[in-house]
């Protein structure tokens, strides 16, 4: 066997060991098999061949073959590592695609168009917690006439300083603000006892401060809706409780003056009704705690 064909044999066995191990087993097993073949060829080059064929390499040929084996071992590892990254990327994209489809189905199920005079057409989609937060604060900062927020919960993660400052600024621009929240789990419904968080009390303080501009309603709600002037955003994001969740979020944005105006008129009227009834005793709790 010539030197060239011998080196080719070494190359094929090393690369083949890494590839076949990866294709038929796993990345970890491929590394084990590949390194096993590499160690064999290293031992062969350093003198093991004398036990089988009666001679061993000498001189520059030893250095060349050792260098070749090392380069091939690194190349084989890099090859299967690249394949694994490619597989992981495809798997992640597939998962994201499935999540996106599921999110679209959920949004479509929650996107009740019966409150619109006509079927609205979403102009764009916002996705991910950071994107929702950025969009939320921007909408509040730019609103001039009206803001309506429906959220399941109110926490200090969602109702934080940027949101508080943006709402204060909107009220100073004479915007009308309607906020509703109050998701109730089955266990909470059975307990008949509700305790409110500091964030909820801070929201109540804001409403009392701007009594003529802010309507606050605590009732059984799981809708995630934001209206800002002629823009409506509805989807999976809890506006007043979510600040940095790793869970994927997605919402539709509708920018239509007539449709959003009709939705505002309908939902704001409902919130005013809930606020006046206050069946869950939010304002009673607020008074008992000495906030107002």
Residue 70 DSSP SS3: helix
Give the end-to-end CA distance of the chain in Å, rounded to a whole number: 96
Q: Exposure string (b/e) for 144-178, b if CB count within 10 Å is 16 or more?
A: eebbbbbbbbbbebbbbeebeebbeebbeeebbbb
Q: Which of 205, 153, 210 is nearest to 176 (CA)?
A: 210
> pLDDT at position 206, please?
92
| Paired tokens of 112 | 């009740």
- Partners of 146 in the beta sheet? 176
Q: Which CATH number fits domain 114-288: 3.90.1150.10, 3.30.870.10, 3.40.190.10, 3.40.50.970?
A: 3.30.870.10
> pLDDT at position 47, please?
84
Q: What is the largest CA-CA distance in the chain?
A: 100
Q: Are strands 176-181 and 146-151 parallel, antiparallel or unpaired?
A: parallel
Listing DSSP states for 116-140 in one string gives: SSS-----EEEESHHHHHHHHHHHH
pLDDT in tens, the chain (292 residues): 577 788 888 899 999 999 999 889 999 999 999 999 999 989 988 888 777 777 777 778 888 888 989 999 999 999 999 999 998 888 877 776 676 666 556 655 555 555 555 566 677 888 888 999 999 999 999 999 999 999 988 999 899 999 999 999 999 999 999 999 988 765 555 555 567 888 988 998 999 899 899 999 988 888 899 999 999 998 889 999 887 777 788 888 988 888 888 889 889 998 999 888 877 788 777 777 666 5
Domain borders along the chain are 3-105, 114-288
> pLDDT at position 192, please?
56
0.85 cut: is pTM over it?
Answer: no
- Partners of 225 in the beta sheet? 150, 234
């Amino acid at each position: 066997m010539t030197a060239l064909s011998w080196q080719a044999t070494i190359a094929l066995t090393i690369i083949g060991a890494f590839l076949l191990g990866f294709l038929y087993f796993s990345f970890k097993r491929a590394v084990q098999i590949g390194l096993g073949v590499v160690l064999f060829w290293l031992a062969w080059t350093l003198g093991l061949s004398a036990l089988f064929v009666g001679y061993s390499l000498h001189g520059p040929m030893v250095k060349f073959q050792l260098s070749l084996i090392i380069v091939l071992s690194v190349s084989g590892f890099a090859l299967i590592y690249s394949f694994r990254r490619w597989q992981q990327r495809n798997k992640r994209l597939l998962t994201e695609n499935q999540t996106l489809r599921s999110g679209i189905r959920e949004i479509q199920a929650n996107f009740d168009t019966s409150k619109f005079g006509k079927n609205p057409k979403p102009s764009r989609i916002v996705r991910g917690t950071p994107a929702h937060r950025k969009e939320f604060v921007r909408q509040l900062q730019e609103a001039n006439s009206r803001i309506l927020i429906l959220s399941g919960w109110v926490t200090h993660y969602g109702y934080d300083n940027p949101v508080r400052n943006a709402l204060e600024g909107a009220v100073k621009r004479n915007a009308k603000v309607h906020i509703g929240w109050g998701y109730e789990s089955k266990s909470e419904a059975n307990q008949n006892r509700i305790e409110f968080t500091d964030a909820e009390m801070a929201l109540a303080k804001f409403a009392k401060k701007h009594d003529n501009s802010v309507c606050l309603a605590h009732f059984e709600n799981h809708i995630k809706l934001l209206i800002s002037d002629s823009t409506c955003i509805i989807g999976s994001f809890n506006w007043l409780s979510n600040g940095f969740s790793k869970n994927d979020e997605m919402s539709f944005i509708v920018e239509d003056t007539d449709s959003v105006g009709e939705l505002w008129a309908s939902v704001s009227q409902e919130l005013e009704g809930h606020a006046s009834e206050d069946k869950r005793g939010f304002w009673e709790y607020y008074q008992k705690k000495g906030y107002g």
